[in-house]
Amino acid sequence: MRRVEVVKGDITEVEVDAIVNPSNSYGLMGGGVALAIKRKGGEEIEREAMARAPIPVGCAAVTTAGRLRAKAVIHASTMREPAQRCSTEDVRRATRAALECALEHGFRSLAFPGMGTGVGGVPPQEAAMAMAEVLQAHLSQWSLPERVVLVAFDDELMEAFRRAVSRVQVDER
């Protein structure tokens, strides 16, 4: 049974095989979710991400998770430059890349933040819908990890995730 969960909280605290960092192509972790991951997990995460750069928009690379509960961090590029605006299509491409990377590495559980909703500037409702559509497409065409967790840092994103998941008929638990 594949399942999608929507929770409010801190993605660095979620117990999953891998968490997704909506990264820039350079692997620099200077703000938003990336900085939270680096602060809690350790600088080695950023060093590994930078060593795997460039990570083109719509592609992903895996690094250690350092001191995080997760086993790995998937750096899925939503933007080329640090703090650059991104589009809803960039969110779709990065979400797809993270899912493919998770499956390729055998991760059974995966947590996403709101891709592109921070410095990327994509409105939460648009990002959530794009992400849910990619999840639904993967579920119908390929596969998903056994457990996908959409982690909202605030009520607005939480509600956007819930609405999007219910609209595209992804099994939410």
- Give the pLDDT confidence score for residue 83 in this predicted structure: 86
Q: What is the pTM of this model?
A: 0.94
Residue 156 lies in a domain: yes
Closest to 11 measured CA to CA, from 161, 153, 162: 153
92 belongs to a structural domain: yes
From the number of C-beta atoms within 10 Å of its C-beta (0-12, 13-18, 19+), residue 120 rates as: buried
Please, which residues have CB within 8 angstroms of residue 125's CB and are 6 or more apart in sequence? 160, 163, 164
CATH of the domain at 33: 3.40.220.10
- CA distance linking residue 76 with residue 91, whole number of Å: 9
Confirm whether 86 is domain-assigned: yes
Structural domain that includes position 63: 3-167
In a domain, 141, yes or no: yes
Q: What is the pLDDT along the chain (173 residues), one digit of tens a residue?
A: 468 899 999 999 999 999 999 999 999 999 999 999 999 999 999 999 999 999 999 999 999 999 999 999 999 999 999 988 999 999 999 999 999 999 999 999 999 999 999 989 999 999 999 999 999 888 766 677 889 999 999 999 999 999 999 987 665 44
Domain membership of residue 36 (yes or no) is yes
Q: Is residue 172 in a domain?
A: no
Number of domains within the chain: 1
Helices (H), the chain: 32-41, 43-51, 88-104, 124-141, 155-167
Q: Is residue 10 part of a domain?
A: yes
Task: Work out the end-to-end distance of the chain between its first and last CA atoms, rounded to an integer number of angstroms.
Answer: 11
The pLDDT value recorded for residue 171 is 54
- Side chain identity at residue 73, one-letter code: V
**Backbone phi, then psi, for 153, in 5-degree steps?**
-90, -10
Model pLDDT, residue 64: 97
**What is the per-residue pLDDT for 141?**
65
Please give the pLDDT value at position 56: 97
* Phi-psi label, residue 139: left if phi above 0, alpha if psi -120 to 50, beta otherwise: alpha
- pLDDT recorded at residue 2: 64
In a domain, 173, yes or no: no
